[in-house]
């Protein structure tokens, strides 16, 4: 018995359709179709294909049988050109998904950052209260004893500079500006992928991106080998998930030569010292 037969029979025995199995395992439906057909053409590498097969086998309680039947040569997958081989080595995850350890570390950093910001804010308020001159409370216009206290002088003391907008507060302004940048970043990411502008596309990713070498190596291979690429984004939703960080959930429709996919993804954008960068990217369907 082959692995595709083994998986199909186990799935049918458990009365699962492909949609239900996709939700249970996190493996995209088009990958499941390929697995049961005995093809690896929708996977970037054989390692990626093996990770998907074993994830499905574990969910169906047939992992030992699948491992005993596995042969790399049974799965035909696109190969990465030799000039890109250096990008293929990576200890990162082979399937898109949450990195547990990095996720925990990120949450810890977020909490520590929030506590640190609160501590700095309290110190700043205490210093303002301590340094505020007593006359300030009785002289809200900020006019000293020897200064002209005419209405025009008082007006100039509180009037914002000409042409300036009244801010709604640093946090609101920062969040709004960050979201606008991320919205533009999402459209630029899709545009660069469609136009196969490899170097500009790669520059959008942070060096800390999990499995960055394998991920970008696969994307480079697709861009260089495809005669055309179409990427459409829809159903975008944005939420703040940390300081200077926004997570975007969206539907991605991808078409290139003989490959098609329709996936729901989550992408984390974070402001770094190099600017706004993609911190992580994963499938959620």
What's residue 73's pLDDT? 81
- Report the C-alpha gap between 214 and 176 in whole angstroms: 33
The domains located in the chain, with CATH, are: 3-77 (1.10.260), 172-283 (3.10.450.50)
As a whole number of Å, the CA-based R_g of the chain is: 27
Q: One digit per residue, pLDDT tens: the chain, 285 residues?
A: 889 999 999 989 998 998 888 888 888 888 889 899 887 777 778 887 888 899 999 999 989 989 999 988 888 765 434 333 333 333 344 444 444 445 555 666 777 777 777 777 766 666 655 554 544 444 444 444 444 444 444 334 334 444 333 344 444 447 889 999 999 999 999 999 999 999 999 999 999 999 999 999 999 998 999 999 999 999 999 999 999 999 999 999 999 988 899 999 999 999 999 999 999 999 997
Q: What b/e string do you get for 166-176 counting C-beta neighbours within 10 Å, with b at 16 or more?
A: eeeeeeeeeee
What's residue 88's pLDDT? 38
Q: Helical H runs in the chain? A: 3-13, 18-25, 29-37, 46-59, 63-69, 100-131, 134-138, 151-158, 170-195, 198-202, 212-225
């Amino acid at each position: 018995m082959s692995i595709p037969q083994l998986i199909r029979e186990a799935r049918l025995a458990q009365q699962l359709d492909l949609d239900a199995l996709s939700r249970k395992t996190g493996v995209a439906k088009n990958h499941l179709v390929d697995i049961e057909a005995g093809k690896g053409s929708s996977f970037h590498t054989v390692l990626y294909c093996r990770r998907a097969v074993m994830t499905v086998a574990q969910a169906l309680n047939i992992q030992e049988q699948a491992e005993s039947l596995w042969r790399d040569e049974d799965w035909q997958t696109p190969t990465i050109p030799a000039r890109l081989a250096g990008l293929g080595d990576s200890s990162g995850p082979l399937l898109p998904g949450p990195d547990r350890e990095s996720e925990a570390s990120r949450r810890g950093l977020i909490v520590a950052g929030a506590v640190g910001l609160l501590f700095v804010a309290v110190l700043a308020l205490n210093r303002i209260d301590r340094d505020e001159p007593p006359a300030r409370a009785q002289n809200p216009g900020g006019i000293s004893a020897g200064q002209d206290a005419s209405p025009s002088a008082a007006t100039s003391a509180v009037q914002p500079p000409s042409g300036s907008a009244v801010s709604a507060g640093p946090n609101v302004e920062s969040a709004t500006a960050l979201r606008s940048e991320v919205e533009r970043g999402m459209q630029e990411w899709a545009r660069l992928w469609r136009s196969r502008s490899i170097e500009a596309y790669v520059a959008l990713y942070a060096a800390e991106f999990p499995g960055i070498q394998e991920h970008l190596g696969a994307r480079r291979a697709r861009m260089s080998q495809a005669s055309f690429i179409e990427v459409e984004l829809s159903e975008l939703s944005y939420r703040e998930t940390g300081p200077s960080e926004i997570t975007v959930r969206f539907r991605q429709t991808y078409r290139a030569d003989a490959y098609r996919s329709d996936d729901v993804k989550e992408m984390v954008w974070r402001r770094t010292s190099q600017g706004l960068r993609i911190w992580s990217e994963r499938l959620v369907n």
